[in-house]
Structure 1
Amino acid sequence: MSTTAPELKRIHHVAYRCNDAKETVEWYERVLGMTYTTAFAEDKVPSTGEDDPYMHVFLDCGGGNVLAFFELPGQPAMGRDPNTPVWVQHLAFEVADEAALLAAKAHIEAQGIAVLGPTFHGVFRSIYFFDPNGHRVELACNIGTPEQYAELKRVAPLMLDEWSQTKRAPRHAEWLHKDPNA
C-alpha cells in the first residue's frame, strides 16, 4: 500500500500549559498585542474521555497563526523539564525589522519585564523574555540577504550530517558568527 504525506496548509495552533488562563490571555494581549479569539472548557477530555477539567484559550498572533494555552486545575503544579536548559524551549515570533524589535523591547521593558538582547544570530536578531507561566518568548527580525538564506539552505544537509557524526558545531556557515555591528 502506497501512501502520501499530507499537504499541510499551516500550523493550526500550538498549545502550551498555563497557570492561569485569564492572566495569560491578558498578558499576551497587553504585552504582545495578540487577540483573544476562542475558549473551550470541558470537564472531560474529548479525545480520551478522562475526567480532567480544563480551560483551553486561543490567541491570534497574526498571519493565521494561533497560540493556545491549557489551564489544568486538577493536575500537579506546572513544571519544566529539569534536563533541558531554560533557553532551549521557547516561543518565537517575527517582527517586521530592527526598528520594530527595538520598539518592542522598549514596550516590554515598560511593562516591568526583563528583556535580554538584541542578540545577533547571523541572519536575524532577537530579544528574549519570559511570560507569567515561565515560558521563554523570543521576538526576532530577519536581517539576512537572499544570498545568505540560499547559502544556509545549501549547507544545511552538510551541517546535519557532520553534526550527526561528531556532535560538535559544524563550521560550514562560519560567517554567521561575525556581527557586523560588534
Structure 2
Amino acid sequence: MSAHPVKLGGIHHAAYRCKDAAETVEWYGRVLGMDYTTAFAEDHVPSTGEFDPYMHVFLEAGNGNVLAFFELPGQPAMGRDEATPAWVQHLAFRVPDMAALLAAKAHIEAQGIDVLGPTHHGIFQSIYFFDPNGHRIELACDIGTAEQYAELKRVAAPMLDEWSRTKRAPRHAAWLHEGAQAPNE
C-alpha cells in the first residue's frame, strides 16, 4: 500500500463567522480562558481579490489548537442553517477530567450562561452552551477505557455500512448507553 500524498499535521485553525470581533474575543477570554493571539484586517479577500472588508481574529484553544472568527460588516446579518438542528453544528473542546468539566460548568453558569449537562456519552461526558454568535459550544472529558475505544474502532466500519443501508441506528455500540461496558469485558 502506498503512502497517501497528503501529509496532514493537524488542524491549523478552524474559522467561523462572528457578529462582533471585540465582543467575541472578550467572551472567549472571559468564559473559556482563551488567549487572543493574532488578528488580520483587510479590505480585499486575499484568495479572491474581491472587496469585502473583514477582521479575522485568532484565539489559542490549548495544545497549539486555534479557533478563528471573521467579522464581516459588509455582509448581510449573520444567521444559521435553519435546516440543521441547533445541536448538530458545534465546537467541542477537551477538558482534562470530570472535575474540570464540573468546575467549568459552575464558572460558565456564574457568567449568566445557560448550560446543558453533563450528558453521558458512554466514553465521554459533555456540557453544552452557546456563544454570543449563536455557535453551540461543547466541553467534553474522556472517561472511556482503552478497550472501549478499541471496540469502537473495531465496529466503526460495520456501523457505517449498516447505517448506509438502513438509515437507522446500528446496535454495534449499544453498550455506550447501557452502562458503558464494552462487549467481552
| SS of residue in 1 equivalent to 2:78 | coil
TM-score norm. by structure 1 comes to 0.96
Secondary structure of the residue aligned to 2:165 is helix
1:130 corresponds in structure 2 to 130
Alignment of 1:66-81 (within 5 A): 66-81=66-81
- Aligned partner of 2:156 in structure 1 is 156
For residues 113 and 4 of structure 2, what CA distance do their matches in structure 1 show?
46
After TM superposition, list the pairs within 5 Å mapping 1:2-21 onto structure 2: 4-21=4-21
Supply the RMSD in Å over aligned alpha carbons.
1.2
Contact 1:35 1:60 in 2 (8 A): yes
Instruction: Give the superposition deviation at 1:5.
Output: 2.9
Tell me the matched-pair count: 179
Distance 1:4 1:172 in 2: 30
Structure 2 residues without counterparts, runs of 5 or longer = 181-185
One-letter amino acid of the counterpart of residue 88, structure 1: V
- Map 1:1-182 onto structure 2 (within 5 A): 4-179=4-179
- Cα separation, 2, equivalents of 1:64 and 1:169: 35
Q: Distance in 1 between matches of 2:153 and 2:3?
A: 27
Instruction: Give the unaligned 5+ runs of structure 1.
Output: none
SS at structure 1 position matched to 2:81: coil
Deviations 1:88-141 (A, max 9, x none): 000000000000000000000000000000000010000000000000000000
User: For each residue in 1:9-38, what CA deviation from the matched residue of structure 2 results, as whole angstroms up to 9, or x when unmatched?
Assistant: 110000000000000000000000000000
> In 2, Cα distance between the equivalents of 1:80 and 1:3?
39
**Quick one: which amino acid aligns to residue 168 of structure 1?**
R
8 Å Cα contact 1:120/1:179 also seen in 2: no
Report the AA paired with residue 166 of structure 1.
T
Identity %: 79
Helix, strand or coil: the match of 1:103?
A: helix
1:6 deviates by 1.0
TM-score, structure 2 length as denominator? 0.95
Shift of 1:179: 4.2
